[in-house]
Amino acid sequence: MEELKKRILKEGTAIGTEIIRVDSFLNHQLDTKFLEKIGQEFAARFEGCTVDRILTVETSGIAVAVAAARYFGDPPVVFARKTMPSTMDSNSYAAASRSFTKETVSVLRVEKKYIRLCDNVLILDDFLAHGEAATALTEIAKQAGANVVGIGVVIEKRYQGGRAKLEEAGYRVESLASIEEIRNGKIIFSE
Amino acid sequence: MEELKKRILKEGTAIGTEIIRVDSFLNHQLDTKFLEKIGQEFAARFEGCTVDRILTVETSGIAVAVAAARYFGDPPVVFARKTMPSTMDSNSYAAASRSFTKETVSVLRVEKKYIRLCDNVLILDDFLAHGEAATALTEIAKQAGANVVGIGVVIEKRYQGGRAKLEEAGYRVESLASIEEIRNGKIIFSE
């Protein structure tokens, strides 16, 4: 998605060789008009697929999933929780996910009633890094007996291997911008 | 908002005398078509007000703010962070907010560049309870020299006093459903 790449180059900041900040439109401030374009692009990529449910994970994934839902006919959006609020049912599917950025391990949880057997689930998220969160979401879908239609991410950091891991496990991955590496502080996109 | 009240009665669960769970459309699973109606209702309530920016706080507030933004002409949406990600700038406005549900105190943070002097800021959130999060957001706006247009919440738990506190501080509060109390496990709306 050319407009996305332009914005990453213009507004994004590379931190070290691993981290990319896009706080001006995706992770802290949200450009909702642009998020709609992102949603439309996901719908184009997954055209022809039945999507009964969009699955994401808090925090920034929520904005992406909510903006995209209308282009999939407004299926339910479910966001996995990283912490267990006192209001949450303990009757949940759960899978661990390590965050390399935060150096923590979270257990992602979705209440059982919010994913159904045979649901066609599309996983959406803001970033694909090492694939930990996406893998946890596929595990949650698997526990529910749901079918994973694919995994759509706004920005893929290909150098962190998430795509390779997910594709090896048999999942279709669509990223709207794929970053090959950060070289001398510069963001280099994949061909 | 009648449809909202009906859904709260039908799908909501009262826990004890304080907590209301509406996980089926607002806090875990999201009904994006319904969130759009909620967004439209906020736009009707604040009609005629200039809104340069929508301010909310992770997590569920993001869904509400993103769905509402289009009805305000897509101003930037900014969500305050409860934790400081390693990708976040330390140059932030900050205010403490106590969560009675989680029994924790969080420091809400917004990077300085994402609220500007004289911005007309609309605060949106899913719940108004004791008013801790909303008050912290007004403090952040004040630190930035921004003007708070008002505070819009989907569900107000009036018995927890948030509205009284905010109105006393001079803020306009709009809630789409106001709960007077939980009596014998039953949700009673305000007149």
| Residue B63 to residue A62, Cβ atoms within 8 A | yes
**Predicted local confidence at residue A103, as pLDDT:** 83
| Residue A32 to residue B114, Cβ atoms within 8 A | no
Which has the minimum average pLDDT: B1-10, B99-108, B111-120? Answer: B99-108
If you average pLDDT over residues A35-56, what whole number do you get? Answer: 98
Burial (CB count within 10 angstroms: exposed 0-12, middle 13-18, buried 19+), residue A117 = exposed
What radius of gyration, in Å, describes the C-alpha atoms of chain A?
Answer: 16
* Residue B113 CA neighbour count, 13 Å, CB half: 10
Question: Which residues of chain A are within 8 Å of residue B23 when distances are taken between CB atoms?
Answer: 87-89, 111, 114
Q: Does B110 contact chain A (CB < 8 Å)?
A: yes
3-state SS string for chain B: CHHHHHHHHHHCEEECCCEEECHHHHHCEECHHHHHHHHHHHHHHCCCCCCCEEEEECCHHHHHHHHHHHHHCCCCEEEEECCCCCCCCCCEEEEEEEECCCCEEEEEEEEHHHCCCCCEEEEEEEEECCCHHHHHHHHHHHHHCCEEEEEEEEEEEHHHCHHHHHHHCCCCEEEEEEEEEEECCEEEECC
CB atoms within 10 A of CB A142: 14
**Predicted local confidence at residue B121, as pLDDT:** 98
**Predicted local confidence at residue A89, as pLDDT:** 61
| Residue A28 to residue B114, Cβ atoms within 8 A | yes
Q: What is the mean pLDDT of chain A?
A: 95
pLDDT in tens, B144-161: 999 999 999 999 999 999
If you average pLDDT over residues A148-176, what whole number do you get? Answer: 98
| pLDDT above 70: residue B186 | yes
The alpha carbon of residue A25 is apart from the nearest alpha carbon of chain B, in Å, by: 8
pLDDT band at A123 (very low <50, low <70, confident <90, very high): very high
How would you classify the pairing of strands B173-183 and A29-30? unpaired
Residues 52-91 (A) with a CB less than 8 A from some CB of B: 58-60, 62-63, 65-67, 69-70, 74, 76-79, 81, 85-89
Angle at A125 between CA A122 and CA A131, to 5 degrees: 95
The CA distances from residue A89 to A59, A103, A112, A140, in Å, are 20, 27, 9, 16
**Best to test chain A binding among B66, B93, B115 (most A CBs inside 10 Å):** B66
The alpha carbon of residue B16 is apart from the nearest alpha carbon of chain A, in Å, by: 11
pLDDT in tens, A71-110: 999 999 999 999 876 666 679 999 999 988 778 899 999 9
Question: Which residues of chain B are within 8 Å of residue A89 when distances are taken between CB atoms?
Answer: 23
pLDDT band at B89 (very low <50, low <70, confident <90, very high): low
| pLDDT above 80: residue B108 | yes
If you average pLDDT over residues A130-158, what whole number do you get? Answer: 98
8 A C-beta contact, residue A87 and residue A113 = no
- The C-alpha atoms of residue B81 and residue B121 are separated, in whole angstroms, by 17
If you average pLDDT over residues A97-126, what whole number do you get? Answer: 93
**Best to test chain B binding among A30, A38, A55, A108 (most B CBs inside 10 Å):** A30
- The C-alpha atoms of residue B115 and residue A9 are separated, in whole angstroms, by 23
8 A C-beta contact, residue A96 and residue A78 = no
Q: Does residue B182 or residue B191 have the better pLDDT? A: B182
**Predicted local confidence at residue B88, as pLDDT:** 60
Instruction: Enumerate residues 6+ apart whose C-beta is below 8 A from A99.
Output: A105, A106, A132, A133
| pLDDT above 70: residue B38 | yes
**Predicted local confidence at residue B191, as pLDDT:** 84
Instruction: Enumerate residues 6+ apart whose C-beta is below 8 A from A119.
Output: A52, A53, A141, A144, A146, A147
**Predicted local confidence at residue B4, as pLDDT:** 98
| Residue B62 to residue A65, Cβ atoms within 8 A | no
> pTM, whole model, 2 decimals?
0.96
- The C-alpha atoms of residue B58 and residue B191 are separated, in whole angstroms, by 30
Which has the minimum average pLDDT: A31-40, B12-21, B31-40? Answer: B12-21
Question: Which residues of chain B are within 8 Å of residue A15 when distances are taken between CB atoms?
Answer: 87
User: Which of B67, B87, B114 lies nearest to residue A66, judging by beta carbons?
Assistant: B67
pLDDT band at B102 (very low <50, low <70, confident <90, very high): confident
**Predicted local confidence at residue B35, as pLDDT:** 98
Question: Which residues of chain B are within 8 Å of residue A79 when distances are taken between CB atoms?
Answer: 28, 30, 59
| Residue B79 to residue A89, Cβ atoms within 8 A | no
**Predicted local confidence at residue B83, as pLDDT:** 82
Count residue pairs from A and B with Cβ separation < 8 A: 116
Residue of B nearest to A109 (CA): B28
**Best to test chain B binding among A87, A110, A113 (most B CBs inside 10 Å):** A87
Question: Which residues of chain A are within 8 Å of residue B74 when distances are taken between CB atoms?
Answer: 31-33
Burial (CB count within 10 angstroms: exposed 0-12, middle 13-18, buried 19+), residue A123 = buried
